[in-house]
């Protein structure tokens, strides 16, 4: 990874910032993106204080032109692109029957089209360097979750897109990884959208009892170095994927019961 150039979308917090630290510590030059200049600058300052070579670019992954700007500024600063980590994402929590469809449109624009746009702009340089494209997906990409219709759909679409792309690039030695962390301690649930598009504000989970972003980043780094195809983390995540494949009717009931017990669950 020494002197490789890694772009991480949504890199100002959570898994994205943790990946910047892990890849940077391994010798990579890191570019992180984010929509908020203040949060991005704070992350850049923190990473630099830890010896990371890092550049921040204010960009919104849901805007195609912003992704072109990220690629251009990366090339101007470091001259190459080796790894793209599509990490930027947003969640939602509301029953579909209560939901304004604009919420799903926003989630799809960020989670799915953000991945499409970023990958499109970086692809020629990654092909030239036989590099890696990473999608930070979710167990929801394998198993649709109640009250997360838009989020589940966006992650399933991301996974299908990357699987198709991996097959297209089979003879070009480009590595494509779909990483599904499972529940991870981050702010994604705090800023999840509710039925009218407002933010949730408080996570329904006990954030202290789930996998840390730093641990997830370590696994992602190892998966990139090993050029793995898929990464499913946590015992719960692996069991969910397995049971949903072989016992889908049972999983309908198990998943319903699990999410019905959440704090302030809309599922009755």
pLDDT digits (tens, 9 = 90+) for 189-206: 567 899 988 876 565 555
Backbone angles phi, psi at 224, to 5 degrees: -70, -45
pTM here is: 0.93
What angle, 0 to 180 degrees and rounded to 10, lies between the N-to-C axes of helices 248-260 and 235-246? 140
pLDDT at 186: 57
Q: Give the tokens for residue 85.
A: 């980590």
What span, in angstroms and rounded, lies between the C-alpha atoms of 60 and 58? 7
Backbone angles phi, psi at 246, to 5 degrees: -105, -25
Q: What is the mean pLDDT of residues 125-132?
A: 98
Burial 236-250 (b: 16+ CB within 10 A, else e): ebeebbeebeeeeee
Mean pLDDT over each residue of the chain, to the nearest integer? 93
pLDDT digits (tens, 9 = 90+) for 67-86: 999 999 999 999 999 999 99
Beta-carbon contacts of residue 226 (< 8 Å; ≥ 6 apart): none
Under the phi-then-psi rule, with left for phi > 0, alpha for psi from -120 to 50, and beta for the rest, what region is 133? beta
Q: From the candidates 117, 142, 151, 221, which is the catalytic residue?
A: 151
Residue 148 and residue 93 in contact, taking contact as beta carbons nearer than 8 Å: yes
Residue 165 neighbours by CB distance under 10 Å:
18
Residue 193 neighbours by CB distance under 10 Å:
23
DSSP 8-state class, residue 96? G
Place of tokens 């996998």: 211
Q: What is the mean pLDDT of residues 236-243?
A: 94
pLDDT at 9 over 70: yes
Query: For residue 240, how far is the Cα from the chain centroid?
Result: 19
Residue 3 neighbours by CB distance under 10 Å:
11
> Who wins on pLDDT, 210 or 149?
149
Residue spans of the domains in the chain: they are: 5-235
pLDDT at 190: 64
| β-pair partners for 58 | 34
pLDDT digits (tens, 9 = 90+) for 35-53: 999 999 999 999 999 999 9
CA angle 103, 138, 224 (to 5 degrees): 130
Q: What is the mean pLDDT of residues 229-241?
A: 94
Residue 179 and residue 159 in contact, taking contact as beta carbons nearer than 8 Å: no
CA distances, 23 to each of 128, 189, 211 (Å): 20, 25, 19
Backbone angles phi, psi at 107, to 5 degrees: -60, -45
Catalytic-residue membership of 221: no
pLDDT at 188: 59
Beta-carbon contacts of residue 164 (< 8 Å; ≥ 6 apart): none
Residue 79 neighbours by CB distance under 10 Å:
10
pLDDT at 202: 61
Architecture of domain 5-235 in CATH? 3-Layer(aba) Sandwich (3.40)
């Amino acid at each position: 990874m020494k002197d490789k150039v890694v772009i991480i979308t949504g890199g100002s917090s959570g898994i994205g910032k943790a990946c910047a630290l892990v890849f940077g510590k391994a010798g990579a030059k890191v570019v992180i993106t984010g929509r908020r200049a203040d949060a991005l600058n704070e992350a850049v300052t923190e990473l630099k204080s830890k010896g990371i070579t890092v550049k921040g670019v204010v960009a919104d992954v849901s805007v195609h032109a912003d992704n072109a700007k990220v690629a251009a500024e990366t090339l101007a600063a470091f001259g190459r692109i080796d790894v793209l980590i599509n990490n930027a994402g947003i969640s939602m929590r509301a029953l579909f029957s209560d939901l304004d469809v604009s919420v799903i449109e926003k989630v799809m624009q960020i989670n799915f089209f953000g991945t499409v746009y970023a990958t499109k702009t970086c692809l020629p340089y990654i092909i030239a360097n036989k590099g890696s494209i990473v999608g930070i997906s979710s167990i929801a990409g394998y198993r649709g979750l109640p009250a997360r219709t838009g989020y589940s759909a966006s992650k399933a679409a991301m996974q299908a897109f990357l699987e198709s792309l991996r097959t297209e690039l089979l003879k070009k030695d480009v590595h494509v990884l779909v990483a599904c962390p499972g529940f991870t301690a981050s702010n994604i649930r705090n800023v999840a959208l509710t039925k009218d598009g407002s933010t949730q504000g408080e996570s329904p989970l006990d954030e202290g009892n789930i996998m840390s972003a730093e641990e997830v980043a370590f696994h992602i780094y190892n998966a990139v170095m090993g050029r793995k195809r898929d990464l499913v983390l946590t015992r719960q995540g692996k069991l969910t994927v397995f049971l949903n494949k072989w016992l889908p009717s049972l999983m309908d009931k198990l998943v319903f019961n699990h999410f019905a017990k959440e704090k302030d669950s809309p599922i009755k």
